[in-house]
Structure 1
Amino acid sequence: MPLLLASPAFGLSQGGIALFSLAGAAGAVATPLAGRIADQGHSRATTALAMGLVALAFPLTHIAQPGSGWSLGLLVVAAIVLDFGVAANLTLGQRAIFTLGADVRARLNGLYMATFFLGGALGSAFGAWAYAYGGWAWASGFGAALPMAALVYWTTENRIH
């Protein structure tokens, strides 16, 4: 999104983009909510909801004419929805790890966090490449495709009762 926000359509400065990024604070709300819902035994459904929110965030950015006030507003909504879904999914994954025995918990959490950040770095790199070659349409399509692929994989997992 920073590339789109800095583009001629929006023309935001670095300060404007930094203010826009405050929408990411929504993740702080998602964490306790996801934890409480998971504690009630709904981790599986909440995981699907979190990934669905992330996938939904990207199409939201295409509803209004780029550069318009509506478009900027929808970008804010999309950023909130995206961050909410990512933070909820991260919380659910860590909760699953911390229900395991203490002998494996630290190693698995370290591996989980390293994988999470590696995925974020690779996603950013490929997203920038997609934006350079196909603009926001390619970048947002790539961004939506990843959680959709995760949802497809999620449907193949065995359910634990």
Structure 2
Amino acid sequence: MPLLLASEFHYTQRGIAVFALVGAAGALSAPLAGRLADSGHGRLGSAVSLMLILASFALSALGAAAHNVVLLALAGVALDFGVQANNVFGQRAIYALAPELRARLNGAYMAAFFLGGAAGSAMASPLLLRGGWPLVAIVGAVLPALALTYFGINELRRRHRV
């Protein structure tokens, strides 16, 4: 997003920093997600957060195409909201497991989370150069769509076993 804001919207570093602060509003999802997870709605919350992440990339593509920074800001908030919530649901699922496994699983989970974020950041610049923001948004949307598909398949399997 910073590259898009600098090149297409002519934002300065200060403007990009202010834009990033708006996106940080998504952190408000953590307590809400925690309450939902604690009340037994972790699976539903995970699915909804993945859908929100997917929708945020669609909204960002629309915002870029319309040259509308408000839509881009809403997409940023939605993306952060979905990612934060999904992280809370994932960690809640780990902490529901056997105590002797929690530390190792949480370490692996957080390592995968940060490696995924780093990989996404590394891919974004070449994608932006090659296909503009639409390509970034498509690739960004494909990943949560794959996760949502995997989640849905596992939910179907789980329901058929019960």
* TM-score, scaled to structure 1: 0.91
Structure 2 letter corresponding to 1:56 = A
What is the match of residue 121 of structure 1?
118
Could you tell me how far apart the structure 2 residues matched to 1:13 and 1:67 are?
Answer: 20
1:61 Cα deviation after fit: 2.2
Structure 1 letter corresponding to 2:24 = A
**Correspondence for 1:74 among 71, 75, 78:** 71
Asked whether the 8 Å contact 1:60–1:74 carries over to 2, the reply is yes
Structure 1 letter corresponding to 2:36 = I
Structure 1 residues 11, 125: CA separation in 2 closer, same or farther (over 3 Å shift)?
same
Hey, which of these two has a bigger chunk of helix by percent?
2
Could you tell me how far apart the structure 2 residues matched to 1:90 and 1:100 are?
Answer: 16
**Correspondence for 1:84 among 81, 86, 91:** 81
Larger displacement relative to structure 2 (77-86 or 36-45): 36-45
1:8-87 equivalences in 2 (<5 Å): 9-64=8-63, 66=65, 68=67, 71-87=68-84
Asked whether the 8 Å contact 1:6–1:13 carries over to 2, the reply is yes
Structure 1 residues 130, 28: CA separation in 2 closer, same or farther (over 3 Å shift)?
same
Structure 2 residues not aligned, in runs of 5+ = none
Task: Extract structure 1 runs of 4+ deviating beyond 4 A.
Answer: 64-68
1:76 Cα deviation after fit: 0.6
- SS at 2:153 equivalent: coil
Could you tell me how far apart the structure 1 residues matched to 2:64 and 2:126 are?
Answer: 23
Report how many aligned residue pairs link the two structures.
158
Structure 1 residues 78, 64: CA separation in 2 closer, same or farther (over 3 Å shift)?
closer
Structure 1 residues 48, 16: CA separation in 2 closer, same or farther (over 3 Å shift)?
same
Asked whether the 8 Å contact 2:53–2:141 carries over to 1, the reply is yes
Could you tell me how far apart the structure 2 residues matched to 1:67 and 1:102 are?
Answer: 50
Provide, for residues 90-119 of structure 1, a one-character-per-residue CA deviation record: whole Å limited to 9, x for no partner: 000001111122211111111100000000
